Amino acid sequence: MGGAIGLPEKIAFGVVLVLFLPFAILSFQLTTGLPLFFKSAIPVKGPVLIAMDVFTLVIAITAI
């Protein structure tokens, strides 16, 4: 039965959503300047901020 959405596709989508939601919240907090919900030993500025935003974008595209 071609073209049907099966259990493996649903599981993969669930994994993508589980990865996307925390990174989306973190990217939102960093972009708007809100305090983070955790303490970071590394300053989240410059290249680290760009990497977080790019990773969040890649996961969002994967979810779509």
* 15-64 pLDDT, tens digit each: 999 989 988 998 888 888 888 888 878 777 888 888 888 989 998 898 88
Give the pLDDT of residue 26.
Answer: 87
Q: Is 4 within a domain?
A: no
- Give the number of domains in the chain: 1
Q: Is 62 within a domain?
A: yes
Q: Is 3 within a domain?
A: no
pTM over 0.85? The answer is no
d(CA 44, CA 41): 9
Evaluate the CA torsion angle 22, 33, 53, 43 in order and state its sign: negative
Asked if the model's pLDDT at residue 11 lies above 90, the reply is yes
The residues near 29 (Cβ < 8 Å, ≥ 6 apart) are 35, 36, 37
Which amino acid is residue 13, in one-letter code?
A: F
Domain span including residue 50: 39-64
Q: Where are the alpha helices (DSSP H) in the chain?
A: 7-32, 47-63
Determine phi and psi for 43, rounding to 5 degrees: -65, 130
